[in-house]
Amino acid sequence: MKRTLSFFFKARYLGVVDYPVAWQAMKDFTANRVDRTLDEVWLLQHPPVYTQGIAGKPEHLLYPNDIPVIRTDRGGQITFHGPGQLVAYLLLDLRRLQLNVRGLVRKMEDSVIDLLADYRIEAKGCPDAPGVYVDDAKIASLGLKIKNGCCYHGIALNIDMDLKPFSAINPCGYAGLKVTQAKDLGVDDEIGVIGQKMLEKLQINLTGR
């Protein structure tokens, strides 16, 4: 009998959302939350966009194209978002979860690794370059902003998307870094199914239950 999880967070399924709209909503949510505010995880996709983290360098965009570049407040360098990529934004109270940033990053990576393991895909994290990798190709990027003990931003997992825009950047600041996606590794499930699995893995890894 399949176990039904009762999430400690509120899950929101937002569809396709412009990056600036989602970013502003995350900032507003975090600024207005109080001690009793329930944590939330937002699942969505973005129209094509490059986002440049606070450590990002302009030279990591190798050549300009028609895709907009947005400087954002998350950690890390440049990455690409587009349709077919599952984005999970984590709006969490780290104090309540008794987590530091390093611990949260590890649990985020483990959630993706465990999800892929369900599809018999062996993945791993990398201490020097946060994210999740399959055979040295990046399949998921991570980025966070911490404010007043709470976080926002989160995980971007490549499912079934156009990977060509990654060729115009040094993904996450690493020249020549290969990228991959779930479909190319034999995963046929739709993004909604994978999103539900992601929520379940986050629940287990963040709470241990």
Report pLDDT digits (tens) over 64-118. 899 999 999 999 889 999 999 999 999 999 999 999 999 999 999 999 999 999 9
Between strands 85-93 and 69-71, the pairing is: unpaired
Residue 209 tokens, joined: 């239950």
Active site residues: 172
Residue 107 tokens, joined: 């649990």
What class does CATH assign to 10-207? alpha beta
CB atoms within 10 A of CB 74: 23
Q: Where are the domains of the chain?
A: 10-207
The pLDDT value recorded for residue 4 is 54
The pLDDT value recorded for residue 195 is 98
The pLDDT value recorded for residue 176 is 82
Residue 181 tokens, joined: 């996606």
**Cα distance between residue 202 and residue 109, in whole Å:** 10
Which stretch of DSSP H or E encloses residue 191? helix 191-207
The pLDDT value recorded for residue 5 is 63
pTM higher than 0.75: yes
Q: Is 166 among the annotated ligand-binding positions? A: no
Q: Is 156 among the annotated ligand-binding positions? A: yes
Q: Is 143 among the annotated ligand-binding positions? A: yes
Tens of pLDDT, residue by residue over 28-54, are: 999 999 999 999 999 999 999 999 999
Residue 1: is its pLDDT beyond 60?
A: no
Tens of pLDDT, residue by residue over 104-125, are: 999 999 999 999 999 999 999 9
* Secondary structure (DSSP) of 138-185: EEEEEEEEEETTEEEEEEEEESS---GGGGGB-GGG-TT--B--TGGG
Region 162-189 average pLDDT? 92
Query: 154: pLDDT confidence band, cut at 50, 70 and 90?
Result: very high
